[in-house]
Amino acid sequence: MLKRVIAAAMLLLSLPALAADLANGQRLNKSCALCHGLHGQGASGKLSPRLAGLPKEYIIKTMKDYVEGTRVYPLMVRTAQLDKFTEKDFDDVATYLSSLDLSSDERFNIQPAFGDAKKGKKIYKTDCRNCHNRTGYGKPSKEAPPLAGQHPAYLYTTMRGYKEGHRIHANDKEDDSFVDYEDADFINLAAYLATLDDVKIVQGYRFRPPTYRPSIASAQRQKLSSSIQITDITQTVVRMALDKGVTTEAAETAMLAKAKEIGLKKVAQQKVSQFLSKKGVKMPHLSIFQFCNPMDARQMVIANPVFSSYMPCRISMVEDGDGKLWLMMLNLDMLINSELLPNEVVETAIRVNQQMLDVMTAGASGKL
């Protein structure tokens, strides 16, 4: 049975997927992974939906909506550099993410956290099944994306957004499908949708992420001057360049102000190059900022003591050999000892990543 599942998964790799540069898509996904997980698995919060397995066309449209301002989340546009993507980049990363099938691996099974699934089922059958399919996995002919396999909190927030007018449902500004829904309806519907991926679980199956080797031409297109990079060393490092004209003083002020605003505690700051300068030792600029949320640190270290090496979370401001200033941090959403982290730890790591990216973005722009 397991062999048949794996064989079927291989057959799902369509001709368009084979035509795309999946190595480039995998590389671009490293930026997406900061908030959506290494495998596009997302997290239970409202800001990190699952991307793995979504239709390619839907992913492309969503990315372009953010670039064009139809949907607004500046942090994501900057972190993933969506506004710098070529049409090929959009296609490559969307094809890569759509090819990742997590649905048979029990470790990625979506869990309902609240609500009455039975009541939600009644709503779904009445109002949603026609477009999103009885299975909840969508209908391409109606441009209706999958709802099964998506995190309940994200679905709840999205549906509330439709009702309140923050989001456009079915590409129709006049659509009023959610006007008469009560909050309890959204909660119950999200609870039912969280059960629909259960039928795909295959006992004993373990998802293994693919690895693609970049072509020579693809490697040559990767320029070190880009404003954000994900650099592979022993662990993953995120680099974000300071905007033109932003001084080290302005970056520092903005970072500390942003950290305070979002509730990150600054536990230390080391002005290394300034300290050495006073002793007559010259070096490029280097300063290190350390932040911590004690409860997050507790959870991650209990899950794996290796994380103690990364606590507290650090952002360095460093000047390279060309005089370019960078902000750098470690990406906490990663594989430790080649094993997937528990869901609750991944969710914490993603939340910490988002907070640190907020701080870095403030520093890079020199403003909140």
Q: What is the pLDDT of residues 247-289, one digit of tens each?
A: 999 999 999 999 999 989 999 999 999 999 999 999 999 999 9
Residue 303 and residue 192 share a domain: no
Distance CA 152, CA 120 (A): 12
| Cα–Cα distance, 271 to 288 (Å, whole number) | 7
Assigned domain for 305 exists: yes
Angle (nearest 5°) at CA 46 between 41 and 52: 20
Mean pLDDT check: name the lowest of 89-93, 113-117, 212-216, 280-284.
Answer: 212-216
Residues 34 and 157 in one domain: yes
Angle, in degrees to the nearest 10, between helices 294-303 and 343-365: 130
Same domain, 192 and 246: no
Residues 234, 139 share a domain: no
Residue 300 lies in a domain: yes
Sign of CA dihedral 70, 74, 75, 76: positive
Asked if residue 209 belongs to a domain, the reply is no
Locate all alpha helices (DSSP H) within 216-336, ordered by sequence. 216-221, 248-261, 272-277, 294-303
Long-range contacts from 229-237, C-beta under 8 angstroms, 24+ separation: 230/27, 230/30, 230/31, 230/34, 230/331, 235/330, 235/331, 235/334, 236/30, 236/330, 236/331, 236/334, 237/328, 237/329, 237/330, 237/331
Asked whether residue 160 falls in the same domain as residue 242, the answer is no
Pairing between β-strand 236-241 and β-strand 228-232 as defined by DSSP bridges: antiparallel
**Whose CA is closest to 148, among 176, 169, 120?**
120
pLDDT of residue 343: 72
Q: What is the CATH number of the domain that holds 234?
A: 3.30.310.70
**228 and 190 in a common domain:** no
Based on the fold, state whether residues 195 and 229 are members of the same structural domain. no
Q: Would you state the pLDDT for residue 234?
A: 40
Query: Is residue 127 assigned to a domain?
Result: yes
Torsion over CA: 211, 213, 219, 221 (sign)? negative
Q: Of 200, 234, 254, which residue constitutes the final position of a domain?
A: 200
- Does residue 210 belong to any structural domain of this protein? no
Pair 231, 344 in one domain:
yes
Question: Could you give the CA distance from residue 1 to residue 5 in angstroms, rounded to a whole number?
Answer: 6
Question: Do residue 158 and residue 242 come from a single domain?
Answer: no
Decide: 357 and 365 in contact? Cβ < 8 Å: no
The domain containing residue 279 runs over which residues?
A: 223-365
Angle between helices 87-98 and 22-36 (to 10 degrees): 70
Judge if the upstream peptide bond of residue 312 is cis by omega within 30 degrees of 0: yes
Task: Indicate whether 46 belongs to any domain.
Answer: yes
Any idea of the CA torsion for 155, 158, 160, 165, to the nearest 10 degrees?
Answer: -160
235 and 194 inside one domain: no
Instruction: Give yes or no: residues 160 and 298 share one domain.
Output: no
pLDDT at 203 over 90: yes
pTM of the model: 0.81
pLDDT exceeds 60 at position 115 = yes
Q: Is the pLDDT of residue 103 over 50?
A: yes
Question: For the chain, how many structural domains are there in total?
Answer: 2
Residue 192 has pLDDT above 80, yes or no: yes
Q: Is residue 217 part of a domain?
A: no
Question: What are 287's two structure tokens?
Answer: 């300063």
Residue 288 inside a domain? The answer is: yes
pLDDT of res. 334:
59
Residue 339, pLDDT above cutoff 80 = no
Mean pLDDT of all residues in 296-317: 86
Q: Looking up tokens 């403003």, which residue turns up?
A: 367
State whether residue 262 is helix, strand or coil.
coil
**CATH code (residue 37):** 1.10.760.10
Look at residues 200, 232, 257 and tell me which one is the last residue of a structural domain. 200
Q: List, in order, residues 6 or more apart from 37 with CB less than 8 Å away.
A: 43, 48, 333, 346, 350
Residue where a domain stops, chosen among 166, 200, 234: 200
User: What pLDDT sits at residue 233?
Assistant: 46
The pLDDT score that the predictor gives to residue 307 is: 79
Residues 278 and 351 in one domain: yes
